[in-house]
Amino acid sequence: MVWISFGPEGLYRQGREALIEGDRVRVLEIAEQLLKTAGLEPEGNLLKGLILARAGKRDEAIVCLQRAAINPKLAVEANTITARCCYESGRYLHAIDAALHALQQDPHALDARRWLASAYYDLGAVSEATTEMEHISAHDPTDARPDRLLGLIAKDSELYSKAIGHYRKSLERDPRQSGVEQVLIELAESQTKVDQFQEALTTLKNASRSAAALTIQAQCNTSLGRFELAESQLIEAMALDPQYSPAKLAMGKRMLDQGQAENAAQILVVARQLEPFNREIQLQLSQAFRAMGKTEEADVALKRMLEIQAWEREFSDLHDQVASHPDDAELRYRTGELANRLGKSQLAVLWFRAALSIDPSHSRSREALQQFSQTTKP
């Protein structure tokens, strides 16, 4: 096909149009012609890199994109897509480097800042990720995602009032965002932590009638003195999802408060089977056993609770160390190992991947991921 309509620069514009239309063949044809045109090789590399990135051929795309980045006019876009390719392939340090190069050219390149924030977060550099997400939130009032994640970070840090503000802002920006049910649950949980029980109930009016929502509603109604309603909500939550341990924990606590130690122990034993590394379940079960006169079982549960508590402290300490050592693969491996010991397998996988993103030769992280892969195969 001969492209003569607008000359070489018009050819590049046609390539951009074909890219928007998703015409892969046409984009590649135009890219090859531009690569043969003196002075327009960067534009050809950019088009080729963009279409390769869309096709998931990230390594090939990165080569083209970095050749395109030698042109200052193309550098921001080329480095931004490079950052995306690196992030998606788990090379977080390279993603950070590419995003920073884009931002050196244009500090207002929000897409580059989004990949930068994502890479920082997945490496455990929470402070740096927070700074980037706050910038994105301030400069793009249509984007609900930064405050969604800022809310989760604040909640995990037990800064519940701050978390509430971020969750509310996220919902105001997009009340129908993907994963909105989880946002509502996390907002309501944060509200209960600062005794905003009526506010939490109002939040959950917009949520589906799930086991999680009913359990939080029951907690609120208990605190507001509506004990019968709370109990009925817990019964419904357990019926909706028999595997949801927080509902069983809440019911076990209620039975203990009512002096029904044996019934409490029965339901808490099931909760412990579902979530063996939950410190609160172990504590409540210890109290139930002791009230029944089963001292030995009570001591075993209490010992386990203290052991889990010590692991949680160690995990928190490691998390703080990780944040200040963005290039330490071994720290991330140890954090993943401890997360796995606490039964947080999904979190463990994230930490092992973070370790490999820093040091692809870290054999223990690779072996750990292989073990997870084998255990999750059908």
Does the residue 11 lie in any domain?
A: no
In a domain? residue 321? no
pLDDT of residue 2: 43
Lookup: tokens for 102:
């884009």
3-class DSSP state of 294: coil
Where in the sequence is the domain holding 181, given as residue range(s)? 141-242
pLDDT digits (tens, 9 = 90+) for 166-195: 999 999 999 999 999 999 999 999 999 999
Domain assignment present for residue 93? The answer is no
pLDDT, residue 296, reads 98
pLDDT at 149: 96
Asked if residue 4 has pLDDT above 70, the reply is no
Residue pair 233/215 in contact (Cβ under 8 Å)? The answer is yes
Predicted confidence at residue 376, as pLDDT, reads 55
CATH number at 211 reads 1.25.40.10
Mean pLDDT taken over the chain: 95
109-141 pLDDT, tens digit per residue, is 999 999 999 999 999 999 999 999 999 999 999
The pLDDT of residue 372: 84
* Helices and strands (H, E) in the chain, number of each type: 21, 0
**Count of domains for the chain:** 1
Contact 172, 145 (CB under 8 A): no
Instruction: Pick the closest to residue 239 from 219, 210, 207, 263 (CA basis).
Output: 210
Q: Give a yes or no: residue 290 inside a domain.
A: no
| Domain assignment of residue 5, yes or no | no
Please list the alpha-helical segments (H only) found in 55-109.
58-68, 72-88, 92-105
165, part of any domain: yes
Contact 86, 92 (CB under 8 A): yes
Percentage of the chain lying above the pLDDT 90 cut: 93
211 in a domain, yes or no? yes
Q: How far apart are CA 195 and CA 200, in angstroms?
A: 9
Containing 298, the helix (H) or strand (E) segment is: helix 295-323
Residues 368, 352 contacting (CB under 8 angstroms): yes
Check if the beta carbon of residue 270 is closer than 8 Å to that of residue 239.
no
pLDDT digits (tens, 9 = 90+) for 230-281: 999 999 999 999 999 999 999 999 999 999 999 999 999 999 999 999 999 9
How confident is the model over 33-92, as pLDDT tens digits? 999 999 999 999 999 999 999 999 999 999 999 999 999 999 999 999 999 999 999 999
Measured between alpha carbons, how far apart are the two ends of the chain, in Å? 49
According to the model, what pLDDT value does residue 268 have? 98
Residue 12, domain member (yes or no): no
